[in-house]
Amino acid sequence: MVCLPHAGGTASFFRDWNRYLPGNIELVAIQYPGRQERLDDELINNMAALTEELAEEIRPLLDRPYILFGHSMGAAVCHELCLLLTQRRLRLPERLIVSAREAPMHNLTGRLHLAPDSIFCEKLSSLGNTPPELLHSDEWRKLMLPVIRNDYQLIETYQPTQQSAPMPIRISAFVGSKDNELTIAQAADWSAVTSKPFELRIFEGDHFYLCERCAPVVTEAIRSFQLQLLNLSSDAKTWPSTP
């Protein structure tokens, strides 16, 4: 299970998910450059460059079934990554889960990444995932605001790649019932992106609904994947019949 975080997010955002995963599913949390153990790596503020890097990073994992989970900005990155994998004829995920992100046809550009610190931090505060004491910490601002601004620049200047055809990937859209960043209808329109079955799942909560509902989110994320793994395991143990 490969997970991509939101703008300004880190791999540790998913640190609690392991406790809800069965032993046959491995959690791979992606770390964008410029944060935590990749603090010295140059930030990437361009979607194409980021997906190029990620395609190479996950290539060693493509010898086995996997699912992609992206939250907010991470959902858009996952979508573009799937398009790149399709173009390169590489293995696609068994399921793409796009969380708290509107479908590509509703993509909006923005200029918040250019706003002064006070306005920028007000927006971060309204999203509810950053403790107020951090937003008022000069040390935290010096370290993290450039990283978060970088990610906002990436997603606010991003233009979705035009698909020539729907992707042959099962897609699930997860959304919080009180998320002010998008509507339920905008999340539901991910159905137009795929030729495979689509599911919409609504969880109680805001843009970061998954922080308070980790267990049900992970359970729902792997539900169909576990069935697929069981089927694959059964197929591998079955000898072909003789004529």
Domain ranges in the chain? 2-107+164-235
CATH code of domain 2-107+164-235 = 3.40.50.1820
The model's confidence at residue 129, banded by pLDDT at 50, 70 and 90, is confident
Tens digit of each residue's pLDDT (9 = 90 or more) over 137-183: 999 999 999 999 999 999 999 999 999 899 999 999 999 999 999 99
**Is residue 177 flagged as an active site residue?**
no
- Quote the pLDDT of residue 241: 39
State residue 238's pLDDT score: 41
**Cα gap 40→143, rounded to integer Å:** 12
Cβ contact 9:74 at 8 Å? yes
Sheet of strand 67-71: strand arrangement = 28-29, 2-4, 67-71, 95-99, 170-176, 198-203
Instruction: Express each pLDDT in 178-221 by its tens digit.
Output: 999 999 999 999 999 999 999 999 999 999 999 999 999 999 99
Whose tokens are 């620049």? That residue is 153
pLDDT digits (tens, 9 = 90+) for 73-123: 999 999 999 999 999 999 999 999 999 999 999 998 999 999 999 999 999
The single residue of 72, 118, 164, 224 carrying the catalytic annotation is: 72
Residue 232: pLDDT over 70: no
Helix spans in the chain (H)? 47-58, 73-87, 117-127, 132-135, 138-156, 184-188, 209-212, 214-236
